[in-house]
Amino acid sequence: MDNLIEVSNITYQYHKGRKVFEDFSVQFDCRESTVITGKNGSGKTTLTKLIMGILKPQSGNIFIFGKNTKDLSLGQTGEMIGYVLQYPERQIFAASVMEELTFPLLFKGEKKEDILLKAEELIQIFELEKVRESYPFFLSYGEKRRLAIASVLMNNPRYLVLDEPTASLDKDRIRALSQVLNKLKGKNIGTLMITHDKNFIEAHGERIIQLEGGQIIKDEK
Ligand SMILES: Nc1ncnc2c1ncn2[C@@H]1O[C@H](COP(=O)(O)OP(=O)(O)OP(=O)(O)O)[C@@H](O)[C@H]1O
């Protein structure tokens, strides 16, 4: 139970939109790397937003690590699951790269020395050295994406949800991201990843789910 995400008989419909999910259920093992594929509009991003509690199902329940998302705030969900959006600029708020990485933990009152050490480590891994004092607004799309991933890792999440993580990253950066994901996997931190990148699917898709019209049409290990 503890290491599971359980989506149980949910129905979801956008305001004035058609039903994206109807009586939909799926479970994810949070120690595993699961890839979600499917055509545009098949419901991939909607599913990840429902898991994160950003959207609320009209019926049914979603449990993360044994807790019903209905009883959790967005912040509580975000502490357990790191979520990297499809458009990373929407999750970057601070005045510099360094501040973006450090301010949430400083705010929480964690030890400054530890926070700085961790931020430096992620700056190296994601090759953000040259922009550490830059205003994130002016970063390239690839840099913003790397910063968004580094920021969620600062929180020590128990699971990662990544929406198109390789978009706008070059080969070397994709390789670096792969290494980070493998390292996390070694610590039993799995991922739920929306991607169309065949090489990435081959490297990280322990389980591959294909969605179509809000239904699972393929589920392979
Ligand atoms: N904010 C919204 N309001 C109304 N309908 C929406 C909204 N967002 C998505 N939809 C609709 O819900 C359905 C599922 O969309 P979703 O973004 O989850 O698909 P997706 O598989 O992630 O697509 P993509 O590969 O294009 O990102 C689509 O029909 C889409 O048009």
Least confident piece of the model among 81-95, 116-130, 205-219: 81-95
Distance between CA 213 and CA 38 in Å, rounded? 9
Q: How high is the pLDDT of residue 85?
A: 86
Output the six-digit token pair for 166: 């390789």
Residue-wise pLDDT for 144-173, tens only, equals 888 988 999 998 899 999 999 888 788 888
Residue-wise pLDDT for 135-152, tens only, equals 988 888 888 888 988 999
Atom index in ligand 1 nearest the CA of residue 38 equals 21
Residue with tokens 């190296």: 124
Distance between CA 39 and CA 97 in Å, rounded? 34
Averaged pLDDT for residues 84-93: 80
Q: How high is the pLDDT of residue 1?
A: 57
CB–CB of 137/165 below 8 Å? Answer: no
The CA 179 to ligand 1 mean position distance, Å, reads 30
In percent, the amount of the chain with pLDDT more than 70 equals 100
The CA 193 to ligand 1 mean position distance, Å, reads 16
Q: How high is the pLDDT of residue 24?
A: 97
Decide: 44 in ligand 1 pocket, CB within 6 A.
Answer: yes
CB–CB of 162/191 below 8 Å? Answer: yes
What's the pTM value of the predicted model, to 2 decimals?
A: 0.89
Top-level CATH class of 4-220? alpha beta
Atom index in ligand 1 nearest the CA of residue 214 equals 14
Backbone angles phi, psi at 96, to 5 degrees: -150, 165
Least confident piece of the model among 1-5, 191-195, 203-207: 1-5
Q: What average pLDDT is seen over the chain?
A: 90
- 48 vs 177: which has the higher pLDDT: 48
The CA 50 to ligand 1 mean position distance, Å, reads 12
The CA 28 to ligand 1 mean position distance, Å, reads 21
